[in-house]
Amino acid sequence: MTDAAATLRIADLRQACSMLLDAAESRFGPHIPLSQFRVDHYWNIDLRAAFEMTPQPELAIDCGQSSDDLAELIGIMQRGPEDLLSLWHDLRHVSGLLRLLAYLDLPDTRETPGN
């Protein structure tokens, strides 16, 4: 892997997220009523275990909750400029919601609008 390929450019990530969120909005609309899906709980693996390639990752699995992720997202949006953002915590909740969008777009998720 070249140095350029091994460098995460935040601008690239921002652009890709924008493109993907635009596509999700086009597919699902601007609001997704999560209560119509049975998607509140999901399996999650601890960040350290995931990236440090823990020998027994099954011991680091816990349960995430989409409704909690949504509540945290709303809390992030209500913070003022003086409020602290905790990247490890806040991104974990945002990534839970992004994973939910990926799940809803799976071809075999029959309850998903637009499939």
What pLDDT, on a 0 to 100 scale, did the predictor assign at position 2?
67
What pLDDT, on a 0 to 100 scale, did the predictor assign at position 110?
52
Angle at 79 between CA 21 and CA 23, to 5 degrees: 5
Look-up of token digits 């596509």: 23
Helix (H/G/I), strand (E/B), else coil: 45: strand
What pLDDT, on a 0 to 100 scale, did the predictor assign at position 5?
79
* 115 residues of the chain, pLDDT tens digit each: 667 679 999 999 999 999 999 999 999 999 999 988 889 999 999 999 999 999 999 999 999 999 999 999 999 999 999 999 999 999 999 999 999 999 999 998 755 454 4
In angstroms, what CA-CA distances link 64 with 12, 40, 49, 61, 68? 28, 8, 15, 10, 8
